[in-house]
Copies of this chain bind each other. A is one copy, B any other.
Amino acid sequence: MEFKINNEFLSQLEELIKQNNAQEVKNLLHEVHYADMAEILEELDLQEAIYVFNSLDSEITAEILLELDDDLRINILKNLSAKEIAEEIDELDTDDATDIIAELPQHKKEQVISELEDVEHAKDIVELLRFDEDTAGGLMGKELVKVNMNWTVLTCVKEMRQQAENVTRVHSIYVVDDEDRLKGRLSLKDLLTSSTKTPISEVYIKKVTSVKVDTPNTEVARIMQKYDLEAIPVVDEMGRLVGRITIDDILDVIKEEADKDYQMAAGISQDVEADDSIFDLTKARLPWLVLALLGGFISVKVLGFFDGAMHNHKELFFFTPLIAAMAGNVGVQSSAIIVQGLANNSLSGTVWERLLKEVSLSLLNGLILGLILFIGSHFLLNVDIKTGITVTTALLSVIIIASLVGTFIPMILHKNNIDPALATGPFITTSNDIFGILIYFSIAKLILGF
């Protein structure tokens, strides 16, 4: 069912481009879905991609634009005139149109808007451009079907047919009062199953979940997931229906959030992909590495401070990477669980309960791991009992402290409205490395007395 790009197809296409045969390019791509076309364009070089783009109807190219990677989209748009872009925009729903216009440089933005044919569409886009892109207002589109609660079903159906012309997918029919305030909804099923004579006020469902224009997008995502909604109406400060958000946009929000948290945990500070440029990848990766390196400087200093142990207890230094690694791993586990709990809004109980739980958990894990280390250090690594006791005690302490740091730093960040995902990855491993080494040698000094 799905189209698979193959080299044969690509060389055929490239040949047609070389022959400057726009009609045949169009024919070749006739049956191809726009999402697949976007993938094809990614495989071509920019000039070829622009040629293909110009060979196709704006109805299709508008959809392709939405599917392209940001870089290629920006490059293609640079090569189109304001009038050409306006033709694409005219084909798009207001929310998608706004996303594309928002990416344009200021002067081109205004030119494109002035070239739009449909004035109502242009007005909607200008309105949507006002909203912060990370809020419900920034996600919503204006295309929706709404009916007045004072109408009869007959008027309603007539009006709806007209409105539906502008709406690609009818998710819900919203019911408003004379002031346009959201009052409820009509389900499509009701529409299919109830007779046209019924008055609206009798059939509409009074309960409707909505969000405000300034609700954050992650909150919209949470609400739509929780209540299993495929579309949600957006109201303004006066409760007036101003737009709707559909599930496909929420899917993008969820994916972006998950990708961002994942990349944060891996020490990548910007949204990048494997195919981005070396420069972009370096920009995303280097900051955390520099931080980790500076953390490393501190660990060098800390170890230097304990160099008195070199003479009689050199084997202590062989265990530093082990202790540091365990501290890092335990810390990342704890912080990941908290970050996910915060993201899913599923953390319950008081701070003290969480503290008690984390200590019990790390005590249990630490005792098991400590036992393995104690036995292993004696039989596999041949260190004396006293050193074995030292490293085991240190491991246990380090595990407990690392898991507390991993648990509470994200919680504190979250409480101060900072993204808790910041406290995962290199941040937690680096700080736990330093703490771990410090605790380890302090305990060693206490037990072995150097």
Q: Within 8 Å of chain B (Cβ to Cβ): is A247?
A: yes
Q: Within 8 Å of chain B (Cβ to Cβ): is A68?
A: no
Central interface residue in A170, A223, A247, A289, by most chain B CB within 10 Å: A289
Is B324 in contact with A321, judged by CB distance below 8 angstroms? yes
- Residue numbers in B under 8 Å from A189 (CB-CB): 164, 167-170
Binds B, one of A98-106, A110-118, A266-274, A412-420: A266-274
Q: Within 8 Å of chain B (Cβ to Cβ): is A79?
A: no
Is A293 in contact with B251, judged by CB distance below 8 angstroms? no
- Residue numbers in B under 8 Å from A324 (CB-CB): 321, 324-325
Q: Within 8 Å of chain B (Cβ to Cβ): is A448?
A: no
- Residue numbers in B under 8 Å from A40 (CB-CB): none
Is B274 in contact with A337, judged by CB distance below 8 angstroms? yes
Chain A 148-181: CB-based contact to B (< 8 A → 1; otherwise 0): 0000000000001100110111100000000000
Bound-state CA distance A223–B35 (Å) is 10
Shortest distance from the beta carbon of A440 to any chain B beta carbon, whole Å: 10
- Residue numbers in B under 8 Å from A281 (CB-CB): 337, 361
Task: Give residues of chain A (232-284) contacting chain B, Cβ–Cβ below 8 Å.
Answer: 247-248, 251, 254-255, 258-259, 261-263, 265-268, 272-275, 278, 281-282
Size of interface on A: residues with Cβ below 8 Å to B: 115
Bound-state CA distance A321–B188 (Å) is 63
Is A314 in contact with B322, judged by CB distance below 8 angstroms? no
- Residue numbers in B under 8 Å from A292 (CB-CB): 325-326, 329
Closest to A314 in B: B310
Chain A 293-314: CB-based contact to B (< 8 A → 1; otherwise 0): 1011101110110010010001
Closest to A320 in B: B321
Is A289 in contact with B381, judged by CB distance below 8 angstroms? no
Closest to A403 in B: B285
Central interface residue in A35, A340, A360, A424, by most chain B CB within 10 Å: A340
Is A300 in contact with B325, judged by CB distance below 8 angstroms? no
Is B369 in contact with A293, judged by CB distance below 8 angstroms? yes
Shortest distance from the beta carbon of A364 to any chain B beta carbon, whole Å: 6
Q: Within 8 Å of chain B (Cβ to Cβ): is A62?
A: no
Q: Which single member of B33, B267, B336 contacts A333 (CB below 8 Å)?
A: B267
Q: Within 8 Å of chain B (Cβ to Cβ): is A227?
A: yes
Q: Within 8 Å of chain B (Cβ to Cβ): is A192?
A: yes
Is A275 in contact with B347, judged by CB distance below 8 angstroms? yes
Is A2 in contact with B289, judged by CB distance below 8 angstroms? no
Shortest distance from the beta carbon of A393 to any chain B beta carbon, whole Å: 15
Binds B, one of A15-23, A45-53, A70-78, A429-437: A429-437
- Residue numbers in B under 8 Å from A290 (CB-CB): 369, 372
Q: Which single member of B286, B332, B333, B372 contacts A293 (CB below 8 Å)?
A: B372
Q: Within 8 Å of chain B (Cβ to Cβ): is A446?
A: no
Q: Which single member of B165, B169, B304 contacts A188 (CB below 8 Å)?
A: B169
Bound-state CA distance A376–B289 (Å) is 15
Closest to A296 in B: B322
- Residue numbers in B under 8 Å from A164 (CB-CB): 189, 192-193
Is B170 in contact with A336, judged by CB distance below 8 angstroms? no
Q: Within 8 Å of chain B (Cβ to Cβ): is A351?
A: no
- Residue numbers in B under 8 Å from A209 (CB-CB): 1-2, 33
Shortest distance from the beta carbon of A424 to any chain B beta carbon, whole Å: 7
Q: Within 8 Å of chain B (Cβ to Cβ): is A94?
A: no
Q: Which single member of B170, B288, B330, B349 contacts A289 (CB below 8 Å)?
A: B330
Q: Within 8 Å of chain B (Cβ to Cβ): is A315?
A: yes
Is B310 in contact with A296, judged by CB distance below 8 angstroms? no
Chain A 340-373: CB-based contact to B (< 8 A → 1; otherwise 0): 1100101111000010010011001100110011
7 pairs, A vs B, C-beta closer than 8 Å = A33-B209, A164-B193, A188-B188, A282-B365, A296-B319, A296-B323, A299-B318
The 10 closest A-B pairs by CB, nearest first: A296-B322, A266-B336, A258-B258, A274-B341, A303-B318, A317-B317, A299-B321, A300-B318, A321-B324, A164-B192
